[in-house]
Amino acid sequence: MERWVVFALISMVFAGFTSVVAKQGLAGISAELGLTVRTVFVFVVILGFAVLAVPRAELATLSKSNFVWLGLSAITTAVSWVFYYKALKLGEVSTIALIDKGSFLVAVVLAWIVLGEKITGRVAIGSLLILAGLFVVARR
């Protein structure tokens, strides 16, 4: 198995835990406060990781383009997190997590438009299955 697949599977498992533990952490507080506390923890953990894992010389390789695209990524992440936490506070984790994973569909289309990635038959069928799953789980 390729390393990126292993990394993606680890990400999947921890993302699943994230939703459940976040829902527990929101008990008795607002989604906004919960997200703020979580974000502080994320910042500290990632900064510690960077100190250990990123060679100092690599900092000189950052370009304006890196800053622009990563800055846009930070903005889209922040907006996603704000609304994800608002949804978690009000709804069921299983439904919210699945709807959130519908971001795969957005990513496929944007990767095709922006990055020129191909939409293969496998990706198209998988996308349709995810879309069908969204309708099945989200429908009351």
Render pLDDT for 19-77 as a digit per residue (tens, 0 to 9). 999 999 999 999 999 999 999 999 999 999 999 999 999 999 999 999 999 999 999 99
Integer Cα distance of 59 and 67 in angstroms: 12
36 CA to centre of own chain = 17
Nearest to 138 by CA among 105, 101, 95, 100: 95
pTM of the model: 0.84
Give the model's pLDDT for residue 84. 95
Helix (H, G, I), strand (E, B) or coil at 79: helix
Whether residue 138 has pLDDT greater than 80: no
Give the model's pLDDT for residue 131. 92
Q: Average the pLDDT over 76-99 and give the result.
A: 93
- End-to-end CA, the chain: 39
Give the model's pLDDT for residue 48. 97
Number of Cβ atoms within 10 Å of the Cβ of 124: 11
Give the model's pLDDT for residue 89. 94
- Taking all residues of the chain, what is their mean pLDDT, rounded to a whole number? 94
Q: At what angle do helices 3-25 and 31-53 cross, to 10 degrees?
A: 150
Domain spans, the chain: 3-101
